[in-house]
């Protein structure tokens, strides 16, 4: 009679789920606690006649050992799981494990992305690297000579007013560079000829901030100085760049222009890649988009920087990275680049 009861309890306990701390506690209360099933058995055992006691006693003890071992083993493996997660048996972690599906893939970790200005700068720098251009950078705060003097902006030259400048109040000889041409002066003074270098960087102009202009922006300037560099070399180089950046169908054209440090000087337009020259808002119905300024380095500038202008000639070009980026992604307001609005920036991070 008692033996069948013991067997039944054994069968029932074997099917008891022991995969969470809650189950574990239920098991303990049901079988092992003071008022549990085992103690109930021992109570009934005490009322048995002596000869039955002899066989039932060891059977109950055997069941007790089995149930205690089962409980211990389950507790051990649950504790091990918790330790793997967060340290020894933390109850809150234990709870999480109960509710978590451990076979699911991990939650994604949010990643940062590159700013659109950085994306375009990298693209341009990498392209010119394939033509042998090195990278050179300079300081954002420079003296008048590097930003203006060496580049033929004489003291009283009206061209200085083309670029509204931020000066340091206590020393007006120091200013925030208005263009990356200041880096070229430094490179030419170093005099490691021939020079074939690209200088990206931030520049500053005292302009009213609007959708189309900002008091800080980025330029990329190219400089090539060697024996017998011609305008034809400049044209070829910029043509290749336009095809790379705007597509193989891109055409370029030059318009005469003026910069104090280049002679002759030109502005370069690229055929409108949006409307294929049918006429649209971006090209203002002209079929052409203005991209950059360029020209042959003025021999006087070479001499200022200690380069023999009889022997060497060179070209330079400079473009605004914001402008290229706005064209590439059709961004209508330059202020987006400096506001760090994540909704704007995430569009470029590939998330």
Residues 248-267 close enough to bind ligand PHE by CB under 6 A: 259, 262
- Contact stretch for ligand PHE (CB under 6 A) within 48-56, 94-102, 278-286, 293-301: 293-301
* 245 close to 136: Cβ distance less than 8 angstroms: no
Lookup: tokens for 115: 């700013």
Q: How far apart are CA 310 and CA 308, in angstroms?
A: 5
Whose CB is nearest to ligand PHE? Answer: 318
Q: Is residue 201 a contact point for ligand PHE (CB under 6 A)?
A: no
Shortest spacing between CB 317 and ligand PHE, in angstroms = 5
CB-neighbour burial class of residue 268 (10 A; exposed 0-12, middle 13-18, buried 19+): buried
Cβ proximity to ligand PHE: between 16 and 258 the closer is 258
Chosen residue from 238, 252, 294, 321 binding ligand PHE by CB under 6 A:
294
Contact window for ligand PHE (CB under 6 A) among 39-47, 52-60, 248-256, 288-296: 288-296
- Rg from Cα positions in the chain: 40
CA atoms within 13 A on the CB side of 47: 5
Q: Using the minimum distance from each CB to ligand PHE, give the nearer residue, 27 or 261.
A: 261
Smallest CA-to-CA distance from 60 within 121, 124, 136, 9 is with 9
Query: Which residue among 27, 71, 153, 317 contacts ligand PHE (CB under 6 A)?
Result: 317
Q: Does 302 bind ligand PHE (CB under 6 A)?
A: no
Question: Using the rule CB under 6 A, is 181 a contact of ligand PHE?
Answer: yes
8 A C-beta contact, residue 78 and residue 70: no
Whether the CB-CB separation of 133 and 197 falls below 8 Å is answered with yes
Closest alpha carbon to 117 in 345, 350, 351, 308: 345
CA–CA distance, 342 with 340 (Å, rounded to integer): 6
Q: Which is nearer to ligand PHE, 38 or 238 (CB)?
A: 238
| Phi, psi dihedral angles at 158 (to 5 degrees) | -60, -20
Shortest distance, position 269 Cβ to ligand PHE, whole Å: 14
Query: Closest approach of Cβ 335 to ligand PHE, in Å?
Result: 20
Closest CB to ligand PHE among residues 78, 314: 314
Q: Which is nearer to ligand PHE, 71 or 317 (CB)?
A: 317
Rounded to a whole number of angstroms, the minimum distance from the CB of residue 204 to ligand PHE is: 11
Measured between alpha carbons, how far is 89 from 210 in angstroms, rounded to an integer? Answer: 60
Question: Angle 53-56-59 (CA atoms, 0-180°, nearest 5)?
Answer: 145
Judged by CB, which is closer to ligand PHE: 116, or 314?
314
- The partner residues of 262 in beta bridges, in order of sequence, read 259, 297
How many residues contact ligand PHE, by CB under 6 A? 11
Give the alpha-carbon dihedral of 225, 227, 230, 234, to 10 degrees. Answer: -30
Q: How far apart are CA 223 and CA 318, in angstroms?
A: 9
Which residue, 81, 79, 82, 67, is CA-closest to 30? 67
Shorter beta-carbon distance to ligand PHE: residue 113 or 264:
264
- 262 vs 271, beta carbon nearer ligand PHE: 262
Q: Name which of residues 52 to 71 contact ligand PHE (CB under 6 A).
A: none
Stretch touching ligand PHE by CB under 6 A, among 16-24, 82-90, 185-193, 291-299: 291-299
Q: Decide if residue 322 touches ligand PHE (CB under 6 A).
A: no
- 144 vs 57: CA distance, rounded Å: 104
Binding to ligand PHE (CB under 6 A) within 219-248 occurs at: 221
316 is a site residue for ligand PHE (CB under 6 A): yes
Which residues lie near ligand PHE (CB under 6 A)? Answer: 179, 181, 221, 259, 262, 293-295, 316-318
């Amino acid at each position: 009679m008692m033996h069948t009861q013991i067997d039944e309890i054994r069968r029932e306990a074997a099917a008891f789920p022991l995969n969470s701390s809650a189950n574990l506690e239920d098991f303990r209360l049901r079988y092992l606690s003071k008022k549990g099933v085992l103690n109930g058995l021992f109570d009934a055992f005490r009322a048995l006649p002596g000869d039955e006691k002899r066989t039932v006693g060891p059977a109950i003890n055997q069941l007790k050992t089995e149930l205690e071992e089962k409980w211990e083993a389950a507790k051990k493996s649950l504790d091990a799981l918790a330790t793997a997660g967060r340290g020894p048996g933390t109850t809150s972690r234990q709870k999480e494990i109960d509710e978590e599906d451990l076979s699911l893939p991990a939650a994604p970790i949010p990643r940062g992305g590159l700013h659109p200005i950085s994306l375009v700068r990298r693209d341009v720098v990498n392209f010119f690297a394939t033509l042998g251009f090195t990278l050179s950078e300079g300081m954002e705060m420079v003296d008048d000579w590097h930003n203006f003097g060496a580049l033929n902006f004489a003291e009283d030259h009206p061209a200085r007013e083309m670029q509204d400048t931020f000066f340091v109040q206590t020393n007006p000889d120091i200013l925030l560079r208005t263009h990356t041409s200041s880096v070229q002066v430094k490179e030419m003074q170093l005099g490691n000829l021939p020079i074939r270098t690209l200088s990206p960087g931030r520049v500053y102009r005292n302009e009213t901030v609007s959708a189309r202009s900002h008091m800080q922006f980025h330029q990329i300037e190219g400089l090539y100085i060697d024996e017998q560099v011609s305008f034809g070399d400049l044209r070829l180089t910029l043509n290749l760049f336009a095809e790379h950046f705007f597509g193989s169908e891109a055409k370029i054209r030059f318009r005469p222009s003026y910069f104090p440090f280049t002679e002759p000087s030109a502005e370069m337009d690229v055929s409108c890649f949006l409307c294929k020259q049918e006429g649209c808002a971006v090209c203002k119905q002209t079929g052409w988009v203005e991209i950059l300024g360029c020209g042959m380095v003025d021999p006087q500038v070479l001499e200022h920087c200690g380069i023999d202008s009889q022997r060497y000639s060179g070209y330079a070009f400079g473009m605004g990275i914001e402008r290229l980026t706005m064209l590439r992604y059709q961004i209508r307001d330059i202020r987006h680049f400096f506001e760090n609005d994540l909704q704007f920036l995430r569009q470029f991070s590939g998330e």
